[in-house]
């Protein structure tokens, strides 16, 4: 099984020694994305909804670079600094997964890179990976 590194300018460049995504056979594993605007390289300002939308758009870009979409996602993990934001996170998440959402875990954490409020990683599956 060969692995293929996924990279796109449509998502922020890695801020450490990792890849934006890795394809292995029919699976694509994304690294966690935080709400960094790829055009500026800076964390977006705003509430958790604004941060969620930026994270989801970053993840869509990584998936697109692997010829996949959110419809191909089978599992997500959400890391959130403030669990009182859970309902707001769910509202935005539902915009991106209105039907047949993937399996998901949500984990409360003490801190995230660059003091982001949320980070998400995904596993997608598809013959195009």
Enclosing domain of residue 89: 3-125
Q: What is the domain count for the chain?
A: 1
- CATH, residue 95: 3.30.1330.40
DSSP, collapsed to helix, strand or coil, labels residue 13 as coil
Q: What is the pLDDT of residue 115?
A: 95
Q: What is the pLDDT of residue 126?
A: 87
In terms of DSSP bridges, do strands 21-24 and 3-6 run parallel, antiparallel, or are they unpaired?
Answer: antiparallel
pTM: 0.95
Tokens standing for residue 32: 């966690």
Tokens standing for residue 13: 């460049």
Burial call 11-43: b when 16+ CB within 10 Å, e when fewer: bbeeeeeebbbbbeeebbbbbbbbbbebeeeeb
Of the candidates 72, 41, 37, the residue with the CA atom closest to the CA atom of residue 51 = 37
Q: What is the pLDDT of residue 1?
A: 66
Q: What is the pLDDT of residue 129?
A: 54
User: Per-10-residue mean pLDDT for the chain, 129 residues long?
Assistant: 91 93 96 97 96 98 97 98 98 97 98 97 85
Q: What is the pLDDT of residue 2?
A: 83
């Amino acid at each position: 099984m060969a692995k293929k590194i996924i990279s796109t300018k449509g998502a922020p460049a890695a801020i450490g020694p990792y890849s934006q995504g890795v394809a292995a056979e029919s699976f694509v594993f994304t690294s966690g994305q935080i709400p960094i605007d790829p055009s500026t390289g800076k964390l977006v300002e705003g509430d958790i909804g604004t941060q969620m939308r930026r994270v989801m758009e970053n993840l869509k870009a990584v998936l697109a670079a692997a010829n996949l979409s959110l419809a191909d996602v089978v599992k997500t993990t959400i890391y959130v600094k403030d669990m009182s934001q859970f309902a707001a996170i769910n509202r935005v998440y539902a915009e991106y997964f209105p039907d047949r959402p993937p399996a998901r875990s949500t984990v409360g954490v003490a801190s995230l890179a660059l003091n982001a409020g949320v980070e998400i990683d995904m596993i997608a599956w598809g013959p195009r990976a």
